[in-house]
Amino acid sequence: MSLIPAWAPNLHPLLVHFPVTLLAGAVAVDMASLLMPARPALRDTATLFYCAGAFMAMAAYFSGLSAAQGTLVSPEESAAVTAHFTWADRTTWFFVFFASLRIAFSYIWRPPARWAAVVVFVAALAGIGMLVATAEHGGRLVFRHGLGVATVPSSGGQLWTMPNHLP
């Protein structure tokens, strides 16, 4: 018995929406915590959302890497997969580091200075920008190239491989 439904090509499309939702929710709750600094539970909730979002980003990252490495793609599609992978790599590890920083802000440096909370929030907004770029590249793979939803022709294609310049 497989955990992946028959209609899903792999686990990646089932996971990608979780980090987007959790991290967008984290930023929204984080903004509320800046507007209501007397409610530290909001800051701690945002931290939990950032941690859950970073965890799910790693799950989506590794499931996408696994799916991509076994995919037959044209040279144009290979470039698009590489662009999506590059953004996913940057975004995932940004949020893993960022979630670690948020744990320190919520549970070690209580309460953080107002200016520090604002700087960290601005960094989170930059991370959301990276997440949007990653999603945009992933959306192009699905809606422009049909990866993950359409049969890729086996002639003229090559297996996608991870770029050498990334770990």
- pLDDT tens for 107-163 read 887 767 888 889 999 999 999 999 999 999 999 988 888 777 755 555 566 777 777
Question: What whole-number distance in Å separates Cα of residue 74 and Cα of residue 72?
Answer: 7
pTM for the full model? 0.85
Distances (CA, A) of 107 to 1, 27, 43, 47: 42, 18, 10, 10
Residue 84 has pLDDT above 90, yes or no: yes
pLDDT at 5: 74
pLDDT band at 67 (very low <50, low <70, confident <90, very high): confident
- Peptide bond before 111: cis, by omega within 30 degrees of 0? yes
Specify if 157 maps to a domain: no
What residue numbers bound the domain in which 72 lies?
Answer: 12-150
Specify if 133 maps to a domain: yes
The torsion angle over the Cα atoms of residues 6, 80, 70 and 66, rounded to 10 degrees, is -80
Question: What percent of the chain is modeled with pLDDT above 90?
Answer: 56
Residue 29 has pLDDT above 80, yes or no: yes
Specify if 165 maps to a domain: no
Mean of all residue pLDDT scores within the chain:
87
pLDDT at 49: 98
Span 72-80, average pLDDT: 86
Specify if 124 maps to a domain: yes
Specify if 123 maps to a domain: yes
pLDDT at 166: 56
Span 74-86, average pLDDT: 90
Specify if 3 maps to a domain: no
- pLDDT tens for 15-27 read 999 999 999 999 9
Specify if 17 maps to a domain: yes
Query: What DSSP character marks residue 149?
Result: T
Query: 98 near 124, Cβ under 8 Å?
Result: yes
Stretch (H or E) spanning 72: strand 72-73
Specify if 167 maps to a domain: no
User: What's the number of domains the chain is made of?
Assistant: 1
Question: What percent of the chain is modeled with pLDDT above 70?
Answer: 89
